[in-house]
Amino acid sequence: MNSLLNRMNIFKNKGVRLLGVLLLFSFLIQTVDAENHIWFSNKPPADDKRAAPSGMHGLSSIKGKRGSSSVIQWLRQGTHPLKSNYIQLSDTNNFEFYFYSPEEKETQGNFSTKGKIATLTYPSKEEGYYNGYLILKQVSNDTLYVNIAKAEMLNHSCRNGHKNVRKKIGPNAYPKTVPAEIIRKRTSSENFHYFALSGDEVEYQFLIDGEPVEGARLSFNTQTGWQKILHTDESGNSTFQILQDYFSSWQELNNRKVYDYVIFGDFTINESGNYKGEAYSYVNYTTSLADGYRPAKTMYMSMFWAFIVFMVTVIISVAGIFIYRINKNKIYKEVHFDE
């Protein structure tokens, strides 16, 4: 009996130690991964004057001749939409770059590593969403880290009409070249004019090799520092409700202002292999997607109705005072009846 108890205690202690090792390993993976988050940003560095926001979605665009402007995105590292560093890649970085048109064809897109920062530029002529992917790979601590920065950018001009909207708005995935990615699920009524608003629920799906993954960690980060972390369900989906995390005085409210956010997804699998002569036993996939949202319309509608109530109150008050003064100033007339 004592021997059995001793064996059970030994097994229990080993299990605790094993669990501790696994938790420590998971923590180390997340820590290294968090330090290496990369993503494409629409906001230029303070000293980069090449582009300015244009179009209904405010994409940064390098102006050229009519019909030949180019969209530009900047590569950044970190988790904060405004405070992340703009980075450059060296010749020692092992990276791949892919770019797809709204018609899902691999097309021209230029990823430049010249100068102090790395940029993605492309001519936007087709209607719909363009998708760009930068993939970095490295082996560390027996793990192959696959870090993917995704840029999804809408091109639309109302003068081109609004035909075949559902076909052109995607979302599209490219598992043959992109091992993992986040896609934003489209709403049933979505069109070329879609823009998320604070208070909206936005659904995302995490894919590995084109298949949904359960238990992937998704992190939603806004420019004001609000963060929400969820895990995907059996369909690889998680739904975030965008928080109203800004409070401006009514004089400053601007329903065209865009508030930036970036979402990261990561998942680790047990998979052995060899990458450029370095063996690994795990693969950690991390991918990103940046976008923006605008203030909820309810903020402006509440102000509108408050203004209406105020104006009606003023009109009624002025009318009441006017009528009272008219009645008060009437000339008194005495009428005598001869009976």
The pLDDT profile of the chain, 339 residues, written as one tens digit per residue, is 444 444 434 434 544 454 444 444 444 444 444 457 999 999 999 888 778 777 667 788 887 655 567 899 999 999 999 999 999 987 667 789 999 999 999 998 899 987 789 999 998 888 889 999 999 999 999 999 999 999 999 988 787 777 778 788 889 999 999 999 999 999 888 888 888 888 889 999 999 999 999 999 999 999 988 999 999 999 999 999 988 765 555 545 566 678 899 999 999 999 999 999 999 999 999 999 999 988 876 655 555 556 676 677 878 887 777 777 777 666 656 666 665
Q: Residue 254: its pLDDT value, please?
A: 62
Q: Is residue 208 part of a domain?
A: yes
Q: Residue 58: its pLDDT value, please?
A: 76
Q: Is residue 106 part of a domain?
A: yes
62: containing domain: 38-299
237 and 124 assigned to the same domain: yes
Residues with Cβ < 8 Å from 139, sequence gap 6 or more? 145, 275, 276, 278, 279, 280
108 and 13 assigned to the same domain: no
- Chain centre distance of CA 92: 29
**How many domains would you assign to the chain?**
2
Q: Residue 337: its pLDDT value, please?
A: 62
Any idea of the CA torsion for 278, 279, 285, 290, to the nearest 10 degrees?
0
* Look-up of token digits 């609000």: 226
Q: Is residue 315 part of a domain?
A: no
CA distances from 269 to 35, 64, 145, 320 (A): 20, 46, 11, 75
The token pair at 58 is 């405010």
280 and 181 assigned to the same domain: yes
CA 324 to CA 332: how far, in whole Å? 15
Q: Residue 3: its pLDDT value, please?
A: 45
Q: Residue 297: its pLDDT value, please?
A: 66
Q: Is residue 251 part of a domain?
A: yes
Q: Is residue 120 part of a domain?
A: yes
98 and 13 assigned to the same domain: no
247 and 223 assigned to the same domain: yes
Say if CB 277 and CB 139 are below 8 A apart. no
Q: Is residue 305 part of a domain?
A: no
Q: Is residue 334 part of a domain?
A: no
Q: Is residue 269 part of a domain?
A: yes
264 and 176 assigned to the same domain: yes
CA distances from 131 to 40, 122, 141, 269 (A): 11, 11, 32, 26
For residue 6, the SS3 value is helix
Q: Residue 303: its pLDDT value, please?
A: 57
Considering only CA atoms, which of 194, 196, 192, 195 is closest in space to residue 157? Answer: 192
27 and 56 assigned to the same domain: no
CA 33 to CA 143: how far, in whole Å? 11
170 and 266 assigned to the same domain: yes
80 and 16 assigned to the same domain: no
1 and 73 assigned to the same domain: no
218 and 130 assigned to the same domain: yes
80 and 170 assigned to the same domain: yes
